[in-house]
Structure 1
Amino acid sequence: MLKNIPKIISPELMKVLLEMGHGDEILLADGNYPCHSVGVKVVRLDGHGIPEILKAILKYFPLDTFVEENVLLMDNNLSTKPEIWKSYEEILYDSKEDFRVKVLERFKFYERAKNVFAIVATSESALYANIILKKGVVKT
């Protein structure tokens, strides 16, 4: 057991975060996302929502500051955007990371997600809650 690691971050998830390099992406997927059918490594965090996982991951995960966007959201194609996005913005702001959000049309998001390093399967019930994070470098 280690100190100061949130219990929500499983050993498998910590291993994935450590294995990722600069520019690799990770998808935090809602409960409706077809995680296992895209051929990418899946880490299951059943029973948890994306906001709590996002908050825990950002304690260890630097966002890429060498790109135009380092956070990608799946568009719902409606004028009213998902409420959960407000939670994401607050968590990202509180993390002190330099975040740059881009919203992708649903099928473009699915295409992008085929190339992520890993998918975290959650029990998030909010619709269009999927979020991709692009890993940056640790600055000392």
Structure 2
Amino acid sequence: MLKHIPSIVGPDLLKILSEMGHGDEIAIVDGNYPAASRAQRLVRMDGHGVCEVLKAVLTLFPLDHMNENAILMEVPKNNFVETPIWKEFDALCREGDEAYKNYSLIEAGEFYNRTEKCYAVIATSEKALYANIILRKGIVR
């Protein structure tokens, strides 16, 4: 056992987070996201929600202070889905890292393409729609 590591962060995720360098990105995605077909490295966290995983990751993961550091999948304009989970994401990022300013929104197709370039994807069992976030790693000061 190690101290100060959230209990839901297993050895595979811990290894990936420590391997990542400045500017590398990691996606945390909901249960509907096609993570297995989009990920270079896949970490399954079945039974957990995105907010729970995001909070745990942010205890270990510095956000980039020079570039956008949190990116969400934009809801298409003709889709009238509510996204209250985004407020939770925003609160967790503000609480978790001083480098965080505001999240950026990108169109779904662009989000899918960007996820394929992420260092890793964490697949959750989150049921909320559009509950996907990409984090860009910063440096430890």
Q: TM-score, normalised by structure 2?
A: 0.93
Instruction: Give the unaligned 5+ runs of structure 2.
Output: none
Deviation for aligned residue 1:38: 2.0
Give the SS at the match of 2:135. Answer: strand
Give the SS at the match of 2:121. Answer: strand
Deviations 1:25-48 (A, max 9, x none): 000010011111125110011000
Question: What residue in structure 2 maps to residue 60 of structure 1?
Answer: 60
Q: Assess if the C-alpha contact under 8 Å between 2:45 and 2:124 holds in 1.
A: yes
Question: What residue in structure 2 maps to residue 84 of structure 1?
Answer: 85
Kindly report structure 1 stretches of 4+ aligned residues shifted beyond 6 Å.
Answer: none
Q: Once superposed, what is the RMSD of the aligned Cα atoms?
A: 1.3
Q: Assess if the C-alpha contact under 8 Å between 2:90 and 2:103 holds in 1.
A: no
Give the partner amino acid of 1:71: A
C-alpha distance in 2 between matches for 1:80 and 1:22: 34
Q: How many residues align?
A: 138
70-79 or 108-117, which deviates more: 70-79
C-alpha distance in 2 between matches for 1:105 and 1:63: 22
Deviation for aligned residue 1:107: 0.6
Give the partner amino acid of 2:28: L
Give the SS at the match of 1:94. Answer: helix
Residue 73 of structure 2 is aligned to residue 74 of structure 1: yes
C-alpha distance in 2 between matches for 1:81 and 1:115: 28
Instruction: Give the unaligned 5+ runs of structure 1.
Output: none
Deviations 1:56-89 (A, max 9, x none): 111110101111x110000112466511001001
Q: TM-score, normalised by structure 1?
A: 0.93
